Structures are given as structure tokens and as C-alpha cells.
């Protein structure tokens, strides 16, 4: 099992990672949400998120990952333990919630339970017409031929394939590409759509005038 832990306390992260390693669990650590927003897509079985992160908070990170279509289980591990915060965390898209301090044995058991619960149920391959995308390996194909995509092109195509019948507004696309606090330029959406069209065919992304874009497989 491969875990990503987003925690701003280095010593706590070090002790937790050591405990997980003794249980045969590989864990990688990042101290902030901004770096984790992209790294979380790199094939982890479970993502552990602290709520009290510097900069972008843990809840905003969870919401961002879910908006981007990340289906990996998310476990919130935090010192905040009120029932309101638990409800808010679960409603944001987390799958489980643990309050610090927590025994290593319980954390390990929760991680295994989350991994078992989702084993075989995560949609790794998205397909629509001649387009196919593997969200685990980050590979894409057009009529069986591999196509090379940048990270943002990959996210844009994934957003279209997750909701193939929906017209995505520019704001909805920006939400799937960038962190909430990031500087956003709506003009970048038009540029990105143009680049993706050149790779999958101009006719496959329709412009809905005054609103946004829709996939035409």
C-alpha cells in the first residue's frame, strides 16, 4: 500500500511514517496543500490530510481533489475533533476522520479498511467514443493511439470524460485545474482548450457560446 500524508508537523509526520513502514506501508510526506494538490494524483492508495495546514487548508484541499475527479480514499487526521468539523470534512469529500492523537494500530487498521473498501471499485479507465484515459497511469489514447498530454491537458480531458454530457463553464474548468488561492486568468482556458483540440481533434470540443465547452466524442 502506498500512502500520501499531508501534515505540517515534521516530527509527527516522521513518527507516523516510521510506524506505517513497520506495518509494510510505504508513505510519502508533504508539508502543505499547494504541493499536494498535484502530487496526490500520482497513484496513491489513500491520502491522509491534516485540516490545519498553512496556506490552503485541509478542507479546501479535499474539495479541490474531489472537484478534479480524484477517486482515491481520503482520511482526515487532525487535532480538531468537534462533530461539526467531522461533518464538514465528510461532506467535503473525505472518506474517514480521525482525531489526534491516535494509536498507530488504529490508523493502520483504518488505512487497510479504506483500501479494501475501494479495491476494484475505483474507475481507473475513462472512455467516451475513441477517447480513453487511464487515471492511474495518466496515459491517454485516441482511437487506440497513445497521445502525449501535459498535466493540465490531462486534467481538462479527464474533466470532460468524467461528465461527457455536461457543458463545463470556464470557472468550472479553472476549479479543476488550479488551487482555490491560485491566480486565475480565464484566457488560459481558451489557450488550453485550443492545445487539447490539436491533439484530439478540433471537432471533439464544442464551444457553447457565452458559457463554456462540451466534449463531442
| Residue where one domain finishes, among candidates 54, 89, 118 | 118
Residues 80 and 129 in one domain: no
Q: Is 189 helix (H, G, I), strand (E, B) or coil?
A: helix
Residue 181 in this model has a pLDDT that exceeds 50: no
Give me the percent of the chain exceeding a pLDDT of 90.
47
Q: How far apart are the first and last CA of the chain?
A: 35
| Residue where one domain finishes, among candidates 118, 135, 150 | 118
Q: What is the pLDDT of residue 179?
A: 57
Query: Nine-digit cell at 66?
Result: 474531489
Residue 129 belongs to a domain with what CATH number? 1.10.10.10
Please, how many CA atoms are within 13 Å of residue 50, restricted to the half-sphere of its CB? 21
Structural domain for 28, as ranges:
2-118
Reported as a single tens digit per residue, the pLDDT across 184-210 is 677 888 999 999 999 999 999 999 988
Residues 149 and 94 in one domain: no
Number of folded domains that form the chain: 2
What average pLDDT does this structure show over 123-152? 86
Residues 103 and 156 in one domain: no
| Residue where one domain finishes, among candidates 103, 118, 133 | 118
Amino acid at each position: 500500500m502506498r500512502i500520501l500524508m499531508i501534515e505540517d508537523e515534521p516530527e509527527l509526520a516522521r513518527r507516523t511514517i516510521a510506524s506505517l513502514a513497520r506495518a509494510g506501508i510505504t508513505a510519502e510526506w508533504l508539508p502543505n496543500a499547494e504541493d499536494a494538490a498535484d502530487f496526490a494524483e500520482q497513484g496513491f492508495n489513500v491520502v491522509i490530510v491534516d485540516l490545519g495546514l498553512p496556506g490552503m487548508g485541509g478542507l479546501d484541499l479535499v474539495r479541490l481533489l474531489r472537484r478534479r475527479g480524484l477517486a482515491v480514499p481520503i482520511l482526515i487526521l487532525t487535532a480538531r475533533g468537534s462533530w461539526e468539523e467531522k461533518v464538514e470534512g465528510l461532506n467535503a469529500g473525505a472518506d474517514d476522520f480521525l482525531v489526534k492523537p491516535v494509536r498507530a494500530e488504529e490508523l493502520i487498521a483504518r488505512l487497510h479498511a479504506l483500501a479494501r473498501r475501494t479495491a476494484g471499485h475505483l474507475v481507473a479507465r475513462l472512455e467516451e467514443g475513441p477517447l480513453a484515459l487511464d487515471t492511474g497511469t495518466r496515459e491517454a489514447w485516441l482511437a487506440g493511439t497513445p497521445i502525449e498530454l501535459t498535466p493540465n491537458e490531462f486534467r481538462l480531458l479527464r474533466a470532460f470524460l468524467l461528465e461527457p454530457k455536461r457543458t463545463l463553464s470556464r470557472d468550472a474548468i479553472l476549479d479543476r485545474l488550479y488551487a482555490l488561492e491560485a491566480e486565475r486568468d480565464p484566457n488560459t482556458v481558451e489557450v488550453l482548450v485550443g492545445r487539447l483540440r490539436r491533439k484530439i481533434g478540433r471537432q471533439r470540443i464544442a464551444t457553447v457560446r457565452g458559457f463554456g465547452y462540451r466534449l463531442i466524442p
